[in-house]
Amino acid sequence: MVNDLQEHNFRYQQAYSNRGFLLAVAYLSLMVIGCSQKTAVNPPANSNSASQVVSNNQNSEKNNVVRLGYQKGGIIPISRQRGDLEKQLTAQKIKVEWTGPFDRCATLLAALNGNRADIGGCGDIPTISGIASGQPLCIGSVQRPKADSLGSAILVRGDSHIRKPADLIGKKVAVNQGGAGEYLLLKVLEKENIPKDKVQRVYLSPNDAAPALYQGSVDGWAVWEPYISIAELEHKARRITTTHPAPTYGVMVVRGDAAKDHPVAIKSALTALSQDGEWLNQHTDAAADFMVKELKVSEAVAKQATKNRGPESYVFPDANDIAKLQKTADWLLEQKILPKRVDIAASVCPLGTTATR
Protein backbone atom coordinates (compact mmCIF):
# COMPACT_ATOMS: atom_id res chain seq x y z
CA MET A 1 0.00 0.00 0.00
CA VAL A 2 2.93 2.35 0.66
CA ASN A 3 3.94 1.84 -2.97
CA ASP A 4 0.35 2.43 -4.06
CA LEU A 5 0.27 5.71 -2.12
CA GLN A 6 3.53 6.84 -3.64
CA GLU A 7 2.45 5.84 -7.15
CA HIS A 8 -0.87 7.58 -6.60
CA ASN A 9 0.84 10.72 -5.35
CA PHE A 10 3.19 10.73 -8.35
CA ARG A 11 0.22 10.45 -10.72
CA TYR A 12 -1.45 13.43 -9.11
CA GLN A 13 1.69 15.50 -9.23
CA GLN A 14 1.86 14.86 -12.97
CA ALA A 15 -1.79 15.75 -13.53
CA TYR A 16 -1.88 18.72 -11.19
CA SER A 17 0.49 21.29 -9.75
CA ASN A 18 -1.11 21.03 -6.33
CA ARG A 19 -0.48 18.57 -3.53
CA GLY A 20 -0.37 14.88 -4.19
CA PHE A 21 -3.19 12.61 -3.37
CA LEU A 22 -2.45 10.13 -0.61
CA LEU A 23 -4.52 7.08 -0.22
CA ALA A 24 -5.53 4.79 2.51
CA VAL A 25 -7.98 1.99 2.49
CA ALA A 26 -10.88 1.86 4.85
CA TYR A 27 -10.05 -0.80 5.87
CA LEU A 28 -10.42 -5.57 7.34
CA SER A 29 -6.80 -7.60 8.66
CA LEU A 30 -6.65 -10.95 10.59
CA MET A 31 -4.70 -13.23 13.07
CA VAL A 32 -4.07 -16.93 13.76
CA ILE A 33 -3.34 -18.01 17.23
CA GLY A 34 -2.90 -21.33 18.87
CA CYS A 35 -3.16 -22.46 22.39
CA SER A 36 0.03 -23.11 24.34
CA GLN A 37 1.09 -26.74 24.44
CA LYS A 38 3.50 -28.32 26.92
CA THR A 39 6.06 -30.70 25.49
CA ALA A 40 7.39 -33.75 27.25
CA VAL A 41 10.63 -33.54 29.18
CA ASN A 42 12.55 -36.80 29.66
CA PRO A 43 10.02 -38.97 27.78
CA PRO A 44 9.82 -42.63 28.81
CA ALA A 45 11.64 -45.22 26.77
CA ASN A 46 8.45 -46.49 25.11
CA SER A 47 7.32 -43.02 24.05
CA ASN A 48 7.37 -41.66 20.49
CA SER A 49 10.71 -40.92 18.91
CA ALA A 50 12.74 -37.79 19.62
CA SER A 51 11.84 -36.50 16.16
CA GLN A 52 8.16 -36.43 17.12
CA VAL A 53 8.98 -34.48 20.30
CA VAL A 54 10.76 -31.92 18.13
CA SER A 55 7.72 -31.82 15.82
CA ASN A 56 5.44 -31.23 18.82
CA ASN A 57 7.68 -28.39 19.97
CA GLN A 58 7.52 -26.82 16.53
CA ASN A 59 3.72 -27.16 16.39
CA SER A 60 3.40 -25.59 19.85
CA GLU A 61 5.55 -22.66 18.78
CA LYS A 62 3.54 -22.21 15.57
CA ASN A 63 0.22 -22.43 17.41
CA ASN A 64 1.24 -19.57 19.71
CA VAL A 65 1.58 -17.10 16.85
CA VAL A 66 -1.14 -14.63 15.87
CA ARG A 67 -0.89 -13.04 12.44
CA LEU A 68 -2.65 -9.71 12.19
CA GLY A 69 -3.30 -8.61 8.62
CA TYR A 70 -3.84 -4.92 8.10
CA GLN A 71 -4.69 -2.27 5.58
CA LYS A 72 -3.53 1.33 5.76
CA GLY A 73 -6.11 2.70 8.13
CA GLY A 74 -8.32 1.24 10.84
CA ILE A 75 -7.62 -0.07 14.31
CA ILE A 76 -5.07 -2.82 13.54
CA PRO A 77 -2.21 -0.64 12.23
CA ILE A 78 -2.88 1.77 15.11
CA SER A 79 -2.60 -1.15 17.55
CA ARG A 80 0.68 -1.99 15.86
CA GLN A 81 1.97 1.52 16.46
CA ARG A 82 0.68 1.75 20.02
CA GLY A 83 2.23 -1.53 21.18
CA ASP A 84 -0.13 -2.40 24.03
CA LEU A 85 -1.80 -5.28 22.19
CA GLU A 86 1.51 -6.99 21.54
CA LYS A 87 2.54 -6.63 25.20
CA GLN A 88 -0.80 -8.00 26.39
CA LEU A 89 -0.67 -11.05 24.14
CA THR A 90 3.00 -11.68 24.88
CA ALA A 91 2.05 -11.88 28.57
CA GLN A 92 -0.32 -14.68 27.55
CA LYS A 93 2.54 -16.40 25.67
CA ILE A 94 1.02 -15.47 22.31
CA LYS A 95 3.46 -14.09 19.75
CA VAL A 96 2.12 -11.39 17.43
CA GLU A 97 3.15 -11.08 13.80
CA TRP A 98 2.00 -8.31 11.49
CA THR A 99 1.31 -8.94 7.83
CA GLY A 100 0.57 -6.18 5.35
CA PRO A 101 -0.19 -3.56 4.44
CA PHE A 102 -2.82 -4.73 1.97
CA ASP A 103 -4.22 -2.26 -0.55
CA ARG A 104 -7.90 -3.11 0.04
CA CYS A 105 -10.24 -5.61 1.66
CA ALA A 106 -10.23 -7.94 -1.34
CA THR A 107 -6.49 -8.59 -1.09
CA LEU A 108 -6.63 -8.85 2.69
CA LEU A 109 -9.39 -11.44 2.47
CA ALA A 110 -7.33 -13.31 -0.11
CA ALA A 111 -4.46 -13.41 2.41
CA LEU A 112 -6.81 -14.91 4.99
CA ASN A 113 -8.06 -17.39 2.45
CA GLY A 114 -4.46 -18.30 1.57
CA ASN A 115 -3.44 -18.83 5.22
CA ARG A 116 -1.13 -15.80 5.24
CA ALA A 117 -3.06 -14.00 8.00
CA ASP A 118 -5.52 -14.93 10.73
CA ILE A 119 -7.40 -11.74 11.64
CA GLY A 120 -8.04 -8.56 9.67
CA GLY A 121 -10.38 -5.58 9.60
CA CYS A 122 -12.81 -5.05 6.70
CA GLY A 123 -16.29 -3.71 6.07
CA ASP A 124 -19.34 -5.92 6.22
CA ILE A 125 -20.04 -5.76 2.48
CA PRO A 126 -16.70 -7.19 1.27
CA THR A 127 -16.74 -9.65 4.18
CA ILE A 128 -20.17 -10.98 3.23
CA SER A 129 -19.11 -11.06 -0.43
CA GLY A 130 -16.01 -13.07 0.50
CA ILE A 131 -18.03 -15.59 2.50
CA ALA A 132 -20.55 -15.89 -0.36
CA SER A 133 -17.72 -16.69 -2.78
CA GLY A 134 -16.72 -19.65 -0.63
CA GLN A 135 -13.74 -18.22 1.23
CA PRO A 136 -13.26 -19.98 4.63
CA LEU A 137 -13.87 -16.90 6.76
CA CYS A 138 -15.91 -16.10 9.83
CA ILE A 139 -17.09 -12.96 11.62
CA GLY A 140 -15.12 -12.38 14.84
CA SER A 141 -16.17 -9.00 16.20
CA VAL A 142 -18.08 -6.06 14.78
CA GLN A 143 -18.12 -2.29 14.86
CA ARG A 144 -21.75 -1.29 15.03
CA PRO A 145 -22.98 1.29 12.52
CA LYS A 146 -23.63 4.87 13.54
CA ALA A 147 -26.63 6.54 11.91
CA ASP A 148 -25.06 10.01 12.10
CA SER A 149 -21.62 8.96 10.85
CA LEU A 150 -20.07 11.02 8.07
CA GLY A 151 -17.61 8.26 7.27
CA SER A 152 -18.96 7.62 3.77
CA ALA A 153 -20.28 9.87 1.01
CA ILE A 154 -20.86 10.37 -2.69
CA LEU A 155 -18.42 13.03 -3.87
CA VAL A 156 -18.39 15.27 -6.94
CA ARG A 157 -15.91 17.84 -8.18
CA GLY A 158 -16.12 21.26 -6.60
CA ASP A 159 -17.16 22.91 -9.88
CA SER A 160 -19.75 20.23 -10.71
CA HIS A 161 -23.39 21.20 -11.36
CA ILE A 162 -24.46 18.05 -9.48
CA ARG A 163 -26.06 19.08 -6.19
CA LYS A 164 -28.22 16.14 -5.15
CA PRO A 165 -28.55 12.40 -5.90
CA ALA A 166 -31.25 13.00 -8.53
CA ASP A 167 -28.68 14.96 -10.54
CA LEU A 168 -26.72 11.71 -10.99
CA ILE A 169 -29.27 10.41 -13.51
CA GLY A 170 -27.43 9.80 -16.76
CA LYS A 171 -24.06 10.28 -15.04
CA LYS A 172 -21.12 8.01 -14.22
CA VAL A 173 -20.24 7.18 -10.61
CA ALA A 174 -17.07 5.35 -9.56
CA VAL A 175 -17.58 2.51 -7.05
CA ASN A 176 -15.62 -0.49 -5.84
CA GLN A 177 -17.42 -3.54 -7.19
CA GLY A 178 -19.21 -5.58 -4.54
CA GLY A 179 -17.90 -3.28 -1.82
CA ALA A 180 -18.95 -0.39 0.38
CA GLY A 181 -18.96 2.14 -2.47
CA GLU A 182 -21.36 0.17 -4.67
CA TYR A 183 -23.58 -0.55 -1.66
CA LEU A 184 -23.71 3.15 -0.73
CA LEU A 185 -24.65 4.24 -4.26
CA LEU A 186 -27.38 1.61 -4.63
CA LYS A 187 -28.86 2.44 -1.22
CA VAL A 188 -28.90 6.17 -2.01
CA LEU A 189 -30.63 5.52 -5.34
CA GLU A 190 -33.14 3.25 -3.62
CA LYS A 191 -33.92 5.90 -0.99
CA GLU A 192 -34.40 8.56 -3.67
CA ASN A 193 -36.58 6.24 -5.81
CA ILE A 194 -34.10 6.44 -8.68
CA PRO A 195 -33.90 3.29 -10.85
CA LYS A 196 -30.41 1.92 -10.51
CA ASP A 197 -30.01 1.55 -14.27
CA LYS A 198 -30.38 5.32 -14.64
CA VAL A 199 -26.91 5.84 -13.12
CA GLN A 200 -23.87 4.16 -14.66
CA ARG A 201 -21.62 2.40 -12.18
CA VAL A 202 -17.93 2.49 -13.13
CA TYR A 203 -15.96 -0.16 -11.25
CA LEU A 204 -12.67 1.30 -10.05
CA SER A 205 -10.40 0.82 -7.06
CA PRO A 206 -9.95 3.93 -4.88
CA ASN A 207 -6.45 4.29 -6.31
CA ASP A 208 -7.97 4.80 -9.76
CA ALA A 209 -11.29 6.40 -8.82
CA ALA A 210 -9.80 9.58 -7.35
CA PRO A 211 -7.92 10.72 -10.47
CA ALA A 212 -10.89 9.63 -12.60
CA LEU A 213 -13.09 12.03 -10.64
CA TYR A 214 -10.64 14.93 -10.68
CA GLN A 215 -9.89 14.54 -14.39
CA GLY A 216 -13.58 14.28 -15.32
CA SER A 217 -13.67 10.64 -16.45
CA VAL A 218 -16.48 10.06 -13.94
CA ASP A 219 -19.00 12.48 -12.46
CA GLY A 220 -19.15 11.13 -8.92
CA TRP A 221 -17.39 8.81 -6.50
CA ALA A 222 -18.97 6.72 -3.71
CA VAL A 223 -16.27 6.35 -1.08
CA TRP A 224 -15.32 6.41 2.60
CA GLU A 225 -12.84 8.01 4.98
CA PRO A 226 -10.05 9.06 4.84
CA TYR A 227 -10.52 9.40 1.06
CA ILE A 228 -13.37 11.84 1.68
CA SER A 229 -11.30 14.26 3.77
CA ILE A 230 -8.34 14.05 1.36
CA ALA A 231 -10.64 14.83 -1.57
CA GLU A 232 -12.45 17.67 0.22
CA LEU A 233 -9.49 19.39 1.83
CA GLU A 234 -6.83 18.84 -0.82
CA HIS A 235 -8.79 18.67 -4.07
CA LYS A 236 -11.88 20.79 -3.36
CA ALA A 237 -14.28 17.90 -3.91
CA ARG A 238 -17.78 18.24 -2.51
CA ARG A 239 -20.14 15.70 -0.96
CA ILE A 240 -23.75 15.45 -2.16
CA THR A 241 -24.80 13.04 0.60
CA THR A 242 -24.40 13.39 4.33
CA THR A 243 -25.35 10.35 6.38
CA HIS A 244 -25.58 6.84 4.95
CA PRO A 245 -29.14 5.60 4.25
CA ALA A 246 -28.05 2.14 5.46
CA PRO A 247 -24.96 2.47 7.71
CA THR A 248 -22.57 -0.46 7.50
CA TYR A 249 -20.75 -2.55 10.08
CA GLY A 250 -17.02 -2.86 10.44
CA VAL A 251 -15.88 -6.46 10.87
CA MET A 252 -12.87 -8.21 12.33
CA VAL A 253 -12.71 -11.16 9.95
CA VAL A 254 -11.08 -14.39 11.10
CA ARG A 255 -9.64 -17.31 9.16
CA GLY A 256 -12.09 -20.13 9.77
CA ASP A 257 -9.57 -22.80 10.79
CA ALA A 258 -7.90 -20.45 13.27
CA ALA A 259 -11.22 -19.72 14.98
CA LYS A 260 -12.13 -23.41 15.11
CA ASP A 261 -8.78 -24.74 16.29
CA HIS A 262 -7.73 -21.92 18.66
CA PRO A 263 -10.86 -20.08 19.86
CA VAL A 264 -9.38 -18.90 23.17
CA ALA A 265 -6.35 -17.31 21.54
CA ILE A 266 -8.44 -15.69 18.79
CA LYS A 267 -10.87 -14.32 21.36
CA SER A 268 -7.95 -12.88 23.35
CA ALA A 269 -6.66 -11.08 20.27
CA LEU A 270 -10.09 -9.69 19.37
CA THR A 271 -10.57 -8.51 22.95
CA ALA A 272 -7.22 -6.73 22.90
CA LEU A 273 -8.17 -4.97 19.64
CA SER A 274 -11.44 -3.85 21.22
CA GLN A 275 -9.55 -2.44 24.20
CA ASP A 276 -7.25 -0.48 21.90
CA GLY A 277 -10.32 0.94 20.18
CA GLU A 278 -11.84 2.07 23.47
CA TRP A 279 -8.56 3.73 24.45
CA LEU A 280 -8.55 5.65 21.17
CA ASN A 281 -12.13 6.76 21.74
CA GLN A 282 -10.92 8.51 24.87
CA HIS A 283 -7.86 9.97 23.11
CA THR A 284 -9.06 11.31 19.75
CA ASP A 285 -6.02 13.56 19.33
CA ALA A 286 -3.80 10.49 19.63
CA ALA A 287 -5.97 8.68 17.08
CA ALA A 288 -5.41 11.53 14.61
CA ASP A 289 -1.66 11.51 15.32
CA PHE A 290 -1.52 7.78 14.60
CA MET A 291 -3.30 8.38 11.29
CA VAL A 292 -0.77 11.07 10.30
CA LYS A 293 2.08 8.64 10.96
CA GLU A 294 0.44 5.65 9.31
CA LEU A 295 -1.06 7.29 6.22
CA LYS A 296 1.30 10.24 5.78
CA VAL A 297 -1.68 12.59 5.46
CA SER A 298 -1.89 16.14 6.77
CA GLU A 299 -2.96 16.86 10.33
CA ALA A 300 -6.12 18.57 9.01
CA VAL A 301 -7.11 15.48 7.01
CA ALA A 302 -6.41 13.18 9.96
CA LYS A 303 -8.49 15.25 12.38
CA GLN A 304 -11.46 15.54 10.05
CA ALA A 305 -11.37 11.87 9.07
CA THR A 306 -11.16 10.79 12.72
CA LYS A 307 -14.13 12.98 13.62
CA ASN A 308 -16.19 11.78 10.64
CA ARG A 309 -15.51 8.11 11.31
CA GLY A 310 -16.52 8.30 14.95
CA PRO A 311 -15.72 5.82 17.76
CA GLU A 312 -13.65 2.70 17.08
CA SER A 313 -15.74 0.34 19.22
CA TYR A 314 -15.64 -3.39 18.46
CA VAL A 315 -17.87 -5.94 20.20
CA PHE A 316 -18.72 -9.59 19.76
CA PRO A 317 -21.92 -9.80 17.69
CA ASP A 318 -25.23 -10.47 19.43
CA ALA A 319 -28.55 -11.64 18.00
CA ASN A 320 -29.51 -8.11 16.94
CA ASP A 321 -26.24 -7.64 15.05
CA ILE A 322 -26.69 -10.99 13.32
CA ALA A 323 -30.25 -10.07 12.26
CA LYS A 324 -29.10 -6.73 10.80
CA LEU A 325 -26.19 -8.30 8.94
CA GLN A 326 -28.54 -10.98 7.59
CA LYS A 327 -30.82 -8.26 6.26
CA THR A 328 -27.86 -6.70 4.46
CA ALA A 329 -26.77 -10.06 3.04
CA ASP A 330 -30.28 -10.82 1.77
CA TRP A 331 -30.50 -7.39 0.12
CA LEU A 332 -27.15 -7.96 -1.61
CA LEU A 333 -28.49 -11.26 -2.92
CA GLU A 334 -31.64 -9.54 -4.24
CA GLN A 335 -29.42 -7.04 -6.06
CA LYS A 336 -27.49 -9.97 -7.58
CA ILE A 337 -24.25 -8.72 -6.01
CA LEU A 338 -23.85 -12.08 -4.21
CA PRO A 339 -23.75 -15.43 -6.04
CA LYS A 340 -25.65 -17.18 -3.24
CA ARG A 341 -27.30 -16.57 0.12
CA VAL A 342 -25.08 -16.19 3.18
CA ASP A 343 -26.26 -17.53 6.56
CA ILE A 344 -24.85 -14.90 8.92
CA ALA A 345 -25.53 -16.84 12.13
CA ALA A 346 -23.55 -19.78 10.75
CA SER A 347 -20.79 -17.37 9.67
CA VAL A 348 -20.04 -16.04 13.16
CA CYS A 349 -16.82 -17.50 14.57
CA PRO A 350 -17.33 -20.34 17.08
CA LEU A 351 -15.64 -18.52 19.96
CA GLY A 352 -18.30 -18.96 22.61
CA THR A 353 -18.57 -15.18 22.83
CA THR A 354 -21.30 -12.78 23.78
CA ALA A 355 -21.57 -9.05 23.27
CA THR A 356 -19.07 -7.17 25.41
CA ARG A 357 -21.46 -4.37 26.19
Q: Is residue 121 part of a domain?
A: yes
Note whether 130 and 259 are same-domain residues.
Answer: yes
Could you read off the pLDDT of 92-109 as tens digits, one per residue?
999 999 999 888 888 999
Same-domain check for residues 122 and 196: no
Parallel/antiparallel/unpaired status of strands 137-143 and 314-315: antiparallel
Higher pLDDT, 316 or 355: 316
- What DSSP state is assigned to residue 1? -
Is residue 265 assigned to a domain? yes
Residue 15 belongs to a domain: no
Both 127 and 173 in one domain: the answer is no
Q: Do residues 161 and 133 share a domain?
A: no
Q: Burial-class residue 196 by CB neighbours within 10 Å (0-12, 13-18, 19+).
A: exposed
Residue 356's pLDDT band, with cuts at 50, 70 and 90, is very low
d(CA 305, CA 303): 6
Query: DSSP of 264-275, one letter per residue?
Result: HHHHHHHHHHHH
Query: Average pLDDT, whole number, for the chain?
Result: 83
**108 found inside a domain:** yes
pLDDT digits (tens, 9 = 90+) for 234-256: 999 999 998 899 999 999 999 99
What is the extent of the structural domain holding 123?
64-145+248-347
Q: Are residues 260 and 317 in the same domain?
A: yes
Let me know whether 324 and 253 are in one domain: yes
Looking at the domain assignment, is residue 24 inside a domain?
A: no
Q: Which of 180, 211, 239 is the last residue of a domain?
A: 239
Residue range 277-287: average pLDDT?
92
Q: What is the pTM of this model?
A: 0.78
Looking at residue 47, its pLDDT comes to 37
Which amino acid, 31?
M
Does residue 12 lie in a domain region? no
The answer to whether residues 306 and 230 belong to one domain is: no
**79-84, long-range: CB within 8 Å, 24+ apart, which pairs?**
79/272, 79/273, 79/276, 81/290, 81/293, 81/294, 82/276, 82/279, 82/290, 84/272, 84/275, 84/276, 84/279
Q: Is-contact 194 169, C-beta < 8 A?
A: yes
Question: Do 261 and 282 lie in a common domain?
Answer: yes
Residue 161 covered by a domain? yes
Residues 225 and 170 in one domain: yes
Question: Does residue 102 lie in a domain region?
Answer: yes
Give the chain's domain count: 2
Interaxial angle between packed helices 124-132 and 105-113, expressed in degrees from 0 to 180 and rounded to the nearest 10: 40
**What's 190's domain CATH number?**
3.40.190.10
**pLDDT one-digit tens code per residue, 178-218:** 889 999 999 999 999 999 999 999 999 888 999 999 999 99
Domain boundary pick from 239, 272, 296: 239
Q: Are residues 258 and 299 in the same domain?
A: yes
Sheet with 220-224, side-by-side order of all strands:
200-203, 172-175, 220-224, 152-156, 238-239
| 1 pLDDT higher than 60 | no
The count of other CB atoms within 10 Å of the CB of residue 334 is: 9
